[in-house]
Every structure is written in C-alpha cells, then in structure tokens.
Amino acid sequence: MELSLLNLLFVLLAAWLAGSIAERLRYPSVLGELMVGILLGPPVLGLLQSSEALTVLAELGVLLMMLYIGMEIDPRGIARASWGGLLAAVGGFITPFVLAYMVVIAFGGTTLGGLFVGIAAGITSLATKSRILVDLRLLDTRVAHVLMAGALISDTLALIAFAAIIGVADVGNLDVLGVGLVALKALLFFGATVALGSIFFPWAGRRLTDAGLTNRTFHFTFVLLLAVSFAELAEMAGLHAILGAFIAGLFIRDNVLGRTLGQSLTRAVRDASLGLLAPIFFVTAGFEVSFRVFAGSDLWLLLTILGVAIVGKVLGTLLFYLPTGHGWREGLTIGLGMNGRGAVEIIVAGIGLERGLISQEIFSILVFMAIFTTATVPIFLKWGTDWLRGRGELIAGSDDRRGTVIIGAGPMGRLLARHLALDRPVKLLDSNPGRCRFAQEAGLDAYCGNALQEQDLAEAGVADADSLIALTTNAAVNALVTKAAVDVFGIPDIYVLQTGSEDSDQEGALAHPHASILFGGPLSREEWEHRVALGAYTETEEEVHAVTTGEQLRATLRDSGDTLPLVVQRGEQRLPFHASLRLSPGDRVTVLRARGDDHPGPASFRQALRSCPILDLDGALTADEFFAVAAAELAPGEEQRLLLEESLRDRESVGSTVLAPGLAIPHLTATAVGVRPLLIARSRDGITFPGAAGPVHAVFTLVRLPGSASSDLQTLAAIARIAGGSDFQRQWREARGTDELRAFLLDRSNGSA
C-alpha cells in the first residue's frame, strides 16, 4: 500500500477550498467537501482518485470525528433534555425511519437496506444545527433549545439502532439464537464500556494528575488510546468501531481531565479530525456517488425517499410535539429545523456501502438526500422563525442555567447577594474564611476557595449559573476569572467591578461582549465596603420614569452626592445594576446613599498621639502578622478588622510603605465611622516588610479620611520631624514601655501642627 502524496495534497486542498466556500455561504463544510468529491472525483471530472492508503486515512478520520462528537455531547444533557426535545427527537426519528424503510421494501430492496436507509432518514445533524442557530441568532430561543436537545437524542438513537443492525447483519440471518447472541454481546459491550468509562477513566485521570503528567500532548495520546481501545471492543462485540469511539468520547468528561484541559483536548481532536482526516472521508465519499440514480426507476426511488424523509421528519416532529402545548406552528418550525442531515448520515451510509448492505445507487441517494436537506434548513428555519416572530410566538428559551455567582463575600457582596437571592439562587466565593463565615451566618450560600482555581469555581456552582459578578479590587483577578467563566464554563453574562476610570488591566475582562461595568461606573470599593460594614449609608428605591441606560442613570445619581445603584427590580425579577442595562419606565432601582461623616477626628497630630493605641510587640513578625494585630486594634468589630487587614495588605502590595531604614508608615483610606485614625507600634526584634533592606522597628499606621489631603500632609510632616533625628531609632528601641514611648513622641512632636 503506497500513499501518493501528490494525490493526498490535491484531496486536502480541494477539501479545504470547498469547505471554506461552503462556510462562507453559511453551510457546513461537509457539504462543500462532498460536492468537490463528486465534481473532481470519478463521478464527473475524474481528476482525483481514491486509493487504499486514502481509504485507511478516511477510516481513521471517521473514528476521530466520532470521538469528537462524543466529547462534544454531554450525557447529562440527554437526561436534562426538555420534554419537547424528547418528543421532537422521537417523532422526528421514528416517522421518517418507518416511511423510508417501507419505500425501500416497496421498490424491491432488502430488509437490511431498508433499515439502513431508515436510519439515515431519521438522523438529525447536531453540528449542522449549532452552526445554523448561531448564524440566525436563535440560540436564546425555546426553538433553539428544543432543536439542540432533539438533535442530540436523535443522533444517539440513530447510533444505537445502527449498532443493532450491524450486529444482526454480521449474523447473516434472523434466527432467534443468532439475534440473542448479538444482543448479549451488545449488552456486554455497553456494560463494559459504561463501567470502564465511569470508573476507570476518572481514576486514570486522577493518577496522571497526581503524577504531574499534565502535558497536553501526553493527554492527547492518552485520549487516542482510550478511543482506539473502545473501538476495538466494539469490533470484538460484532459492532462497528465508530460506536466505540463515540462512547469513549462520551466518557471523557471534566472529572477525567478537568474542564480546561478537557476543552483543550476536544479542540485538538476536532482539529485533527475535521481539519485533516475527516475531510478525506467526505471527499472520497463523493467518489462513490453515481449519477445513474437520475435515470429510470432509480430517479423515482430518489424522489420518493427524499419526499418521505422530508415529510416524515417535519410531520413526525410536528405531531409528536403537539402534547407540549406550544402550538403547531412552533412544532412545524422545529420540524423544518430538524430536517437537516449531515456527517453522521454519510458515515452510516458509507459503512453500509462498504459492507455490501446497500447498493451504490442507494448510497448515492443518501448522499443527495444529505446535501439537499441540509442545504434547505437555513432557508426553511429562517422562514419559520420569522413567521413565529411576526406573530409574537418566538419564545425566549428556558435554559437550564440559572443563578449568580459573586466573587467576593465582603459587605458589598453580601448585600448584593441578599437582594438578588429574592429572585434567583446566589452563591458567593471568597478565599477569606472570615468573610465566608459572615456570609453563612447571614443565611447566604458561601464557598471558601480561590476564584483562580478551576475546581473551586466548579464547586461554587459556576457551571450551573447564568451570570457571574467579579467584585474584587484586583483587576488582574477580575480579568482571569472572567476569562475562565467565559472560556471554560460558558457563562453568558459577566459583570465586573471597575475601581478606576482608566484601568487598562480591566479592559481584558470587559472585552467579552456580555461583560459590563458593575454599578454603572467606577467607584472606590474600599470606601463602600467600610460604609456597608459600618451601616454608614441609607437605602432608597428610585422609580425610573424614562428610557435610559445604567451608565446614564449612574451619572445622574452622582450629581446628588455619593451614591451607589445596587440592583434593579423589574416586576418579580431582580438584576445587578450595570452600565449596559437598558432601563424602562416602571423599573425600580435600589440606591445606596453615603451618610455624612460623623467621626469627630483629632484636631491635631499631638491630640492623636495622646489618645491613639501604642503597641509594644514581642518577637519578630512578618508584615502580614503585624497587619492582623493592627487591624484588631483599629477596628470596632471583627468584620471591620477583616476589611482593614485586607486593605493594609492590598496597599503594601502596590508599593512598599517603608519610607526610611527601620520606619514604615502603612496607610489606607476608609470611611472612618468607629475606626481609629492612628496606631503606633514598636518591635525591638523587628517586622519584616516585603522588599525592605532590613527589619522595621517603628510603625505609624494611618487611617485617612476621604478628601483629607492637607491634614495627611501635616501628619506625614510631623512624623518626619519625629523620626528624622539621627538618634531616633536608638531612643525608640531603648524606651521602657508604652507610657515612655508616648512621652518620647510627644516631646519630639513639640511644634508640630
């Protein structure tokens, strides 16, 4: 067996060009590949020829393609499929199956030939539907959800029926013993593959991960080994290899490889199959087409099979769909959408021809049926949905996704969760155990974990949510969480906190078309976290009287003071307020308004020195350990302590607050209701600050008020005068106790403001 590289080159080039043209015309590439095989192959021009080597590559392409289809289909989707999708699938499969079988028998065909044609007539192409629904912008409609569920179930039914017919065909007759043996072998095959797929696959995936084998190339080979093993099991059971590859794909799920690696490998299998090997199969399938079907009785057989396939699919879907109560017009539209066949039909037909179960004329009829029915789906489906839309009957879909995941369980996150939870399931994800505990004590569903870890996102329920709110001050974290939510979990709606008017790091998070700026615009999360934690706000409800956007309303509200629009109530529905939100008359917006600052504040730095806490710390500490101690002294309660501790750490991560050898001045801005403005600490053994040349022995921790720039400068100037002397560090470390430290500071601060 010798492979002609020139012939392979021409086959791949022809497939690529024809597939690209078909996609440009909004049709699946398989149609272009079939057509170019017919045009350039033996049926017309004879420029391309088949060979034994091409046949081997084509068979491998089919195997990989069925593996890919299995990896794309979530078995849980069949269990969750809507009642309408199940009825549409059953009606759209059984009716054309029976009619096509009867036609073949009436025209003198064999029983097995009739069964093969029936399967081909009953198939609905899942991949074709996905592409057409995207192009027609129908993915968010009930019609789309029923079509996808119906196509998924229909293809699965077709492959099961195909496996049964292959098994019977191999027996050679229909005796009870032979059929019983086929059934037993099939049951053993399905039992073995289910056990291996549900038990061995996850176990092997965990062992590989534990061993540190996370390389994508290694796992790609591992996936191929699993697929070929299952394909061989299918052959041993008297079934076809494509069924084994398909089932292997079904079991290669998230619990085997993880979502990120699993999706990466699915793309790799797709590229290897649809990008290289599968096109060889479809081009060479076109080589087998015969135009003799357009002459004599074969033409009548072609037209009859084509007619019963179309009428059976549409009418069967419509009739079986009626019990849903959604009307015959929606059933008709779904039937028109279900009418497209595609790759799976050609694969089934090709295997039937290869095994001599159907003639070349029947194979040609099935190819022409696939081409014609798939080509008409976009036209008929657009007509049907436009008809429904014009009558006001194109209903938005009831997706299984429902709920919101909020990244950040701080005071703002909890307040937002309490409002949204009145309408939908809400979960919070935070890495801070204290904040998670506060959320749980408030009756909220909170999960303690790292939002950058895929497993933690999955545990928090992101896979079942339809929206995610990234409520952290770290723009990079928001961007990474957004990317994972979109690319890995497919979250449709993303809302991102923006903490500044120009934050280039957040552009990546907002690049996703469904992402929007939370609360309608940038704000200081730190200030509002403190306000909410300390109750330094009032909550009002504003009714919308004119059509506007979230961004415009936010700008209007800011004219009346420091405000934060939190949620929008629209009937019984509650939505997070965001910049892209379109508001209509009757909508009600919950608005938080900041109270005036009622913290008296010290009149001078010397007054602050007289009343502020001074700590004399034992033992060496890290900066984080010191921040925990300082926050406990500054804050009036545990929740405020957590906020201050986080703020001090965040400020230190931006830039070091060590301003001189042995001296640090950590500072933060907060709404200082109940929070002490100054804390001083001495550590003889030293505090280790990141990036500092040596240990820090004197720490002045400042909590600044918003808009207090002038008093801040006076405070910093006073601290500079106190610590500026050459003997400051020595006297500071030698002072006995906190009373002597305070007296020392007051003495050195004479003349300070």
Q: Is the pLDDT of residue 251 over 80?
A: yes
Kindly tell me the sign of the dihedral angle through the C-alpha atoms of 629, 633, 638, 642: negative
In the numeric block, the tokens 């079907």 are attached to 293
Reduced to 3 states (helix: H, G, I; strand: E, B; else coil), residue 640 is helix
Bin 453: left if φ > 0, else alpha if -120 < ψ < 50, else beta: beta
Amino acid 173: pLDDT: 57
Q: Is the pLDDT at 106 greater than 80, yes or no? A: yes
What pLDDT is attached to residue 418? 92
pLDDT score for 14: 92
Helix (H) or strand (E) holding 450: none
pLDDT at 290: 82
Q: Which residues, other chains included, contact 139 with Cβ-Cβ below 8 Å and sequence gap of 6+? A: 133, 397
pLDDT > 60? residue 502: no
**pLDDT reported for residue 557:** 85
SS3 481: helix
Rg (CA), the chain: 34
Q: Strand, helix or coil at 533?
A: helix
The domains found in the chain, sorted by start residue, are: 5-390 (1.20.1530.20), 404-594 (3.40.50.720), 605-748 (3.40.930.10)
For 497-648, where are the E strands, in sequence order? 515-517, 537-543, 548-549, 563-570, 573-576, 582-583, 588-594, 614-617, 621-622
pLDDT at 593: 87
pLDDT of residue 590: 93
168 vs 686, higher pLDDT:
686
Per-residue model confidence as pLDDT tens digits over 517-569? 889 888 877 778 767 776 678 889 989 988 888 888 888 887 766 789 999 99
Q: Rounded distance, CA 624 to CA 689, Å?
A: 8
Question: For the chain, what is the mean pLDDT?
Answer: 81
Mean per-residue pLDDT for 684-690?
91
| Cα–Cα nearest to 258, from 28, 21, 551, 488 | 488
| H or E stretch at 427 | strand 426-430
* pLDDT given at position 504: 41
Residue-wise pLDDT tens digits, 579-592: 888 888 989 999 99
pLDDT of residue 654: 66
What's the pLDDT band for 168 if we cut at 50, 70, 90?
low
pLDDT band at 751 (very low <50, low <70, confident <90, very high): low
- Any idea which of 14-23, 36-45, 175-184 has the lowest mean pLDDT? 175-184
Q: How far is CA 365 from CA 38, 345, 362, 372, 665, in A?
A: 13, 12, 5, 10, 83
Q: Which has more confidence, 670 or 467? A: 467
Structure token digits, residue 475: 């723009």
Give the range among 317-321, 342-346, 492-496, 510-514 with minimum mean pLDDT: 510-514
* For residues 693-704, average pLDDT: 88
> Per-residue pLDDT for 172 more than 70?
no
Contact predicate 313/96, CB 8 Å: yes
Mean pLDDT for the stretch of residues 129-141: 59
- Residue 686 in this model has a pLDDT that exceeds 90: yes
What's the pTM? 0.54
Reported as a single tens digit per residue, the pLDDT across 271-287 is 888 888 888 988 888 88
Q: Residue 717 — very low, low, confident or very high, per pLDDT cuts 50/70/90?
A: confident
Q: In which band, very low, low, confident or very high, does the pLDDT at 267 lie, cut at 50, 70 and 90? A: confident
For residue 599, pLDDT beyond 50: no
Q: Is the pLDDT of residue 699 over 90?
A: yes
What's phi and psi for 566, nearest 5 deg?
-100, -60
Host H or E run for residue 452? none
The whole-angstrom separation of Cα 24 and Cα 14 is 15
Question: What pLDDT was estimated at residue 622?
Answer: 93
The pLDDT value recorded for residue 697 is 93
Q: Which span out of 195-204, 286-295, 336-345, 663-672 was modeled with the highest average pLDDT?
A: 195-204
Q: Look at residue 511 in the predicted model and tell me its pLDDT.
A: 45
Among 314, 306, 274, smallest CA distance to 22 is for 274
| Closest-CA residue to 126 (of 60, 186, 81) | 81
pLDDT digits (tens, 9 = 90+) for 363-419: 888 888 888 887 787 788 888 888 887 877 777 654 556 789 999 888 889 999 999
Give the H/E segment covering residue 473.
none
39 vs 270, higher pLDDT? 39
Per-residue pLDDT of 72-97, as tens digits, reads 766 665 555 567 778 888 898 899 99
- Decide the pairing of beta strands 426-430 and 445-448: parallel
The least confident of 52-61, 166-175, 262-271, 633-642 is 166-175
Spatial contact of 302 and 310, defined as CB atoms under 8 Å apart? no
Judged against a pLDDT cut of 70, whether residue 67 lies above it is answered with: yes
Side chain identity, residue 175: D
Q: Which amino acid is at 629?
A: V
Interhelix angle 709-723/737-748, nearest 10 degrees: 110
pLDDT for res 131: 52
